[in-house]
Amino acid sequence: MIESVSRRAFSSTSGTYNVRASELARERKLNIFNVTVQFLDDTQHSFQIEKKAKGNVLLEQVFQHLELVEKDYFGLQFTENGSPPNATNTEITRWLDSGKSVKKQVGANAQFWLAVRFYPPEPSRLAEEFTRYLLCLQLRKLLLDGRMAAPKNTALLLASFTVQAELGDYNVSEHPPNYLSELCLLPKQSAEDERRIRELHKLHKGQAPADAEANFLEHAKRLDCYGVESHPAKDYNGKDIFIGVTSIGIVVFQNNIRVNTFSWSKIVKISFKKKQFFIQLKREPSETYDTVLGFNMRSGRAAKALWRCSVERHGFFRLRAPRRRPLLGALGALAGITAPTVPRTETQALEDARRSRSTNRSFVRRSSSRNRERSAGTASPGGAVATLNACARGARVTGHTEPAPRAAWCVAQPQPEEDDGGFLERALRVPLSYVDESDSGSEPAAEEAVCVRLAAGADGRFGFNVRGGGGGPVLVSRVAPRTRVQLQEGDQVISINGNDVDEMTHEQVVQLIRNTRGVLTLLVKPNAVYEPDETGPEEPAVCFVPLSSGEYDGDALEQSMLLLGDGLASGAALKQYETLLRRLPDEPSNVAKAPHNLNKNRYRDIAPYDSTRVILKNGPTGDYINASYINMEIPNSDLVLTYIATQGPLASTVGDFWQMVWESESSLVVMLTVLAERGRAKCHQYWPKLGAAPLKATSSLTVTTTSEENWGHYTRREMCLKDNNGASRVVTQLQYTAWPDHGVPDDSAAFIRFTQLCSELRNHRAVIPTVVLEPDPEEERLLDPPLIVHCSAGVGRTGALILAETAIELLSRRQPLYPLDLVRHMRTQRPMCIQNASQYKFVCESIQAAYAGGLPRAPAD
């Protein structure tokens, strides 16, 4: 009976009401937590998560919304006051913890900002163009609001790349004189800034948005504050400083100047207690105590934030895999604070990206004035090409057949000048590495080789550069965007078209690529240079350090030498050297490239800047000579080491050379080459032999060699330079003969002794007239006469000696020594100083040996 009633009740016009389902829906609605995320292009999106959801749930929704593949470099920021993180917001900016509840971290204010959390040391290693685009947006924000500083010239160059990416090629009809006024490119942007940006923008013709952004990142990564998350603090003397955390370690800034760097390999432990943050350094063999550095933070929360930031960056950049959090983390667990971990490390992220080699998806650059789709293959209005063409990135891509000027590093006959179309690649991009450059990367890890087949582009280029050879591994150093799917920076080339490259020189490798017609077949080990060292010990776990070690007043020189030693041991110093600009893009060399001066250059691609070139007053063939003034100031003293860096004289420029010696009032010439190497002329013999008749250098100058002594690794000659008016001067020439072709000396101690001899023979009594149109004797500068130094090109070995002498002077005065900064300063006065990594490494190792052996202190000024 009951069954019969039930069937009638739920038939025909019957209905149902699911009480439990409705209650569950109501509970779910009450349990929803709405959050807003602002992206790097200033757009916003709302997300819904459960109130008890952890941070990884929200992060995953954000990354899926953006279709972000390389998500490990990004995170979500929030502030307690809900204001955007910027230079004016004094609240501590925190990162969303993926392992904790979102609501408990952020409270009632559910506002987040997407930001770059871990800045890649080499942006070119990123596989996705969209990732590089987001990184560019982040850096532009930092530069605009003052959280990231850049020199004026660099800031203008970066702004010009931004304009190229957003507006495309410069077009007179579409871009009026004030077309940059509506764009916010620089803080405190002026009309003069816009004029200079416009001139740089004109030079970027043909660059697609992706290419301009790649160039933007290549220059931005060289800034001292790139990738630095700064935390205000005070040192033990109470001075205001900023502690920054980067991929290489912990850096200290004072007055926007980096004053110290502690690399991860030198740090044993990091800790905090209340308002103090501590760094414990590795004990050296000669030390009997632990070095603990303490810094005072604004609050205990600030100290903890810096500690967390340091731990996370150490884990991401230095470890091969994330640390597993122990069940009971000893001191950390007892104190209620455990060291944070990262979901994945950079090594794992790069391995995944390398394995996927996915094709880039299309996206719209929302900050641009015109919409572009990447890899669309069409030209946008204004002439901006959105396709990734063969010559899009990397200067002088190997495999080309176009005429090139005679290079200083290879055997070639003089060729016609390149047209202006190659100016941008020569001036604003990283050039091809030199032939005698030793490998700066670590040995490749054992991994299966893969076969890569490349077809030449319309211009005959294959879209990549190589470096190494001559017994060292051949590595891919630069890759154009169209080739990045098959090759990446750091891949090791095993064979080319079936030919093993183990015993080939760099010239042979390049020639083999250039001679390939059709398809180029490569056997490569992917990302060999970036593999971590499997044999080395892994970094120790972070934990607390005792506070009873006392204060440490520090030794800036010692810290700088420890940093240099660590950089040489890990290879980081040579990788940093590779990032230096070889030539300043905004320093012209118009005089050197004038038609009537071309035959005075031994190498056409090595030309002095117009602003620092030596100008002859009474030159036999004009006022031009391929020579540059280089001044190296010694901090905290009145000493300025002055040089004239010049090429080895040609037969046609001997008169110009001696006229320069006479006018500069120099009495010391240092020669760092022999006359011929491997059958090639490196320098013309510009002096007469001992006992021979005097050399008539010019119509008014004669040179006589009065003595010659051979000291094994160098030869010393005394010469008499006489003028027709009766004035004369004794000139000493030191010819260093122990520097082999395409190599470095075997004895660093002998090179240091030679450099010290050069310092002793400087004449400190002469006066160098100030270079002005109408010299006034009362305004002459009392400087040391310049030491004239040359090799063949006047940049490689010449720069090495200048670096060595400057370093020795700094060591003797107990001044901190940063060779990379010295090379950068040299290249602002003469391009390409210290040509290759092997020369840079040799000088640095020589400096280390000199420091270890002890140098006498310089007398007080």
Q: What is the CATH number of the domain that holds 38?
A: 3.10.20.90
Q: State the catalytic residues.
A: 791
Q: Are residue 138 and residue 93 in the same domain, yes or no?
A: no
Residue 239 lies in a domain: no
- CA dist 509 and 850 (Å) reads 37
Residues 611/613/616/622 CA torsion (nearest 10 deg):
-90
**Of all residues in the chain, what percent carry a pLDDT higher than 90?**
26
pLDDT of 133 > 80? The answer is yes
Report the run of H or E that residue 268 belongs to, with start and end: strand 267-273
pLDDT at residue 442, rounded to an integer: 34
For residue 828, how many other CB atoms are within 10 A of its CB?
16
Instruction: Tell me which of 114-123, 229-238, 552-561 is least confident.
Output: 552-561
Q: Are residue 586 and residue 687 in the same domain, yes or no?
A: yes
Decide: 244 and 230 in contact? Cβ < 8 Å.
yes
DSSP output for 590-602: TTTTSGGGGGG-S
Domain count, the chain: 4
196 phi and psi angles, rounded to 5 deg: -70, -35
pLDDT of 365 > 80? The answer is no
Residue 490 lies in a domain: yes
Q: Are strands 695-696 and 276-281 parallel, antiparallel or unpaired?
A: unpaired
Decide: 142 and 148 in contact? Cβ < 8 Å.
yes
Ramachandran quadrant class, 353 (left: phi over 0; alpha: psi -120 to 50; beta: rest): alpha
Return the DSSP state at 225: T
Q: Nearest Cα to 766, choosing from 746, 798, 788, 744?
A: 788
Q: Is 846 helix (H, G, I), strand (E, B) or coil?
A: helix
Instruction: Tell me which of 234-238, 444-448, 580-584, 780-784 is least confident.
Output: 444-448
* Tokens encoding 19: 């009480």
Ramachandran quadrant class, 538 (left: phi over 0; alpha: psi -120 to 50; beta: rest): beta
Decide: 574 and 553 in contact? Cβ < 8 Å.
no
Residue 11 lies in a domain: no
pLDDT of 507 > 70? The answer is yes
Q: Could you tell me the pLDDT band of residue 420, with boundaries at 50, 70 and 90?
A: very low
Q: Could you tell me the pLDDT band of residue 667, with boundaries at 50, 70 and 90?
A: very high
N residues, the chain: 861
DSSP strand E in 73-214: where? Answer: 74-78, 94-95, 111-116
pLDDT at residue 387, rounded to an integer: 32
Decide: 386 and 208 in contact? Cβ < 8 Å.
yes
Q: What is the mean pLDDT of residues 404-426?
A: 36
| 831-844 tens-digit pLDDT | 999 988 889 999 99
Q: Could you tell me the pLDDT band of residue 763, with boundaries at 50, 70 and 90?
A: low
Q: Could you tell me the pLDDT band of residue 861, with boundaries at 50, 70 and 90?
A: very low
Residue 407 lies in a domain: no
Q: Could you tell me the pLDDT band of residue 518, with boundaries at 50, 70 and 90?
A: confident
pLDDT of 285 > 50? The answer is yes
Q: What is the CATH number of the domain that holds 615?
A: 3.90.190.10
| 842 vs 425, higher pLDDT | 842
pLDDT of 502 > 90? The answer is no
Q: Could you tell me the pLDDT band of residue 558, with boundaries at 50, 70 and 90?
A: confident
CA distances in angstroms from 206 to 161, 201, 390, 393, 424, listed in the order given: 12, 11, 12, 11, 10
3-state secondary structure 483-526: HCCCCCCCCEEEEECCEECCCCCHHHHHHHHHCCCCEEEEEEEC
Return the DSSP state at 588: -
Q: What is the mean pLDDT of residues 225-232?
A: 87
Residue 79 lies in a domain: yes
pLDDT of 314 > 80? The answer is yes
pLDDT of 737 > 60? The answer is yes
Q: Are residue 131 and residue 95 in the same domain, yes or no?
A: no
- CA dist 717 and 613 (Å) reads 27
Residue 440 lies in a domain: yes
Q: Could you tell me the pLDDT band of residue 24, with boundaries at 50, 70 and 90?
A: low
Q: Are residue 79 and residue 151 in the same domain, yes or no?
A: no
Q: Could you tell me the pLDDT band of residue 361, with boundaries at 50, 70 and 90?
A: low
pLDDT at residue 337, rounded to an integer: 63
| 387-396 tens-digit pLDDT | 323 333 232 2
Please, what's the b/e burial string for 438-474 (b: 16 or more CB within 10 A of its CB; e: otherwise)?
A: bbbbbebeeeebeebebebbeebbbbbbbbbbbebbb
Q: Are residue 99 and residue 187 in the same domain, yes or no?
A: no
How does the average pLDDT of the chain come out, rounded? 77
Q: Is 379 helix (H, G, I), strand (E, B) or coil?
A: strand
Q: Could you tell me the pLDDT band of residue 441, with boundaries at 50, 70 and 90?
A: very low
pLDDT at residue 473, rounded to an integer: 79
pLDDT at residue 354, rounded to an integer: 67
Residue 650: give the domain boundaries: 578-852
Q: What is the mean pLDDT of residues 371-387?
A: 34
pLDDT at residue 231, rounded to an integer: 87
Which amino acid appears at position 786 of this protein?
A: P
Q: Are residue 520 and residue 654 in the same domain, yes or no?
A: no
Decide: 601 and 646 in contact? Cβ < 8 Å.
no
Could you say which of 345, 372, 389 is where a domain stops?
A: 389
Q: Are residue 382 and residue 508 in the same domain, yes or no?
A: no
Q: Are residue 67 and residue 141 in the same domain, yes or no?
A: no
Q: Could you tell me the pLDDT band of residue 52, with boundaries at 50, 70 and 90?
A: confident
pLDDT of 771 > 60? The answer is no
To 5 degrees, how large is the angle CA 591–CA 594–CA 596? 115
75 phi and psi angles, rounded to 5 deg: -160, 180
Alpha carbon 223 to chain centroid distance?
8
Decide: 797 and 839 in contact? Cβ < 8 Å.
yes
Which of 269-273, 431-435, 478-482, 510-514 shows the highest mean pLDDT?
269-273
Q: What is the CATH number of the domain that holds 130?
A: 1.20.80.10
- CA dist 142 and 140 (Å) reads 5
DSSP strand E in 94-149: where? Answer: 94-95, 111-116
**Of all residues in the chain, what percent carry a pLDDT higher than 70?**
75
Residue 190 lies in a domain: yes
Q: Is 290 helix (H, G, I), strand (E, B) or coil?
A: coil
Residues 141/142/146/149 CA torsion (nearest 10 deg):
-130
Q: What is the mean pLDDT of residues 464-470?
A: 78
Residue 655 lies in a domain: yes
pTM of the model: 0.48
pLDDT at residue 857, rounded to an integer: 60
Q: Could you tell me the pLDDT band of residue 546, with boundaries at 50, 70 and 90?
A: very low
pLDDT of 155 > 80? The answer is yes
Which amino acid appears at position 449 of this protein?
A: A
Q: Are residue 737 and residue 615 in the same domain, yes or no?
A: yes
Q: What is the mean pLDDT of residues 564-579?
A: 81
Instruction: Tell me which of 203-207, 357-361, 688-692 is least confident.
Output: 357-361
pLDDT of 32 > 70? The answer is yes
Instruction: Tell me which of 55-69, 79-93, 427-441, 497-511 is least confident.
Output: 427-441
pLDDT at residue 266, rounded to an integer: 83
pLDDT of 119 > 70? The answer is yes
Q: Is 643 helix (H, G, I), strand (E, B) or coil?
A: strand
pLDDT at residue 172, rounded to an integer: 87
Could you say which of 389, 410, 430 is where a domain stops?
A: 389
Q: Could you tell me the pLDDT band of residue 331, with boundaries at 50, 70 and 90?
A: very low
| 676-689 tens-digit pLDDT | 887 788 999 999 99
Decide: 719 and 816 in contact? Cβ < 8 Å.
no
Instruction: Tell me which of 122-136, 283-297, 496-510, 731-745 is least confident.
Output: 283-297
Q: Are residue 680 and residue 818 in the same domain, yes or no?
A: yes
Report the run of H or E that residue 722 belongs to, with start and end: strand 714-723
- CA dist 191 and 494 (Å) reads 53
pLDDT of 561 > 80? The answer is yes
pLDDT at residue 329, rounded to an integer: 43
pLDDT of 139 > 90? The answer is yes
Q: What is the mean pLDDT of residues 5-26?
A: 62
Could you say which of 530, 560, 595 is where a domain stops?
A: 530
Decide: 474 and 439 in contact? Cβ < 8 Å.
no
pLDDT at residue 90, rounded to an integer: 65
pLDDT at residue 477, rounded to an integer: 74
pLDDT of 640 > 60? The answer is yes
DSSP alpha helix (H) spans, 221-345: 300-318, 330-334
Q: Are residue 592 and residue 668 in the same domain, yes or no?
A: yes
Q: Are residue 137 and residue 167 in the same domain, yes or no?
A: yes
Query: What end-to-end distance do the CA atoms of the chain give, in Å?
Result: 118
Q: Nearest Cα to 539, choosing from 303, 249, 230, 326?
A: 249
* Tokens encoding 165: 């990416």
* Tokens encoding 265: 């390999």
Q: What is the CATH number of the domain that holds 485?
A: 2.30.42.10
802 phi and psi angles, rounded to 5 deg: -65, -45
Please, what's the b/e burial string for 160-183 (b: 16 or more CB within 10 A of its CB; e: otherwise)?
A: bbbbbbbbbbbeeeebeeebbeeb
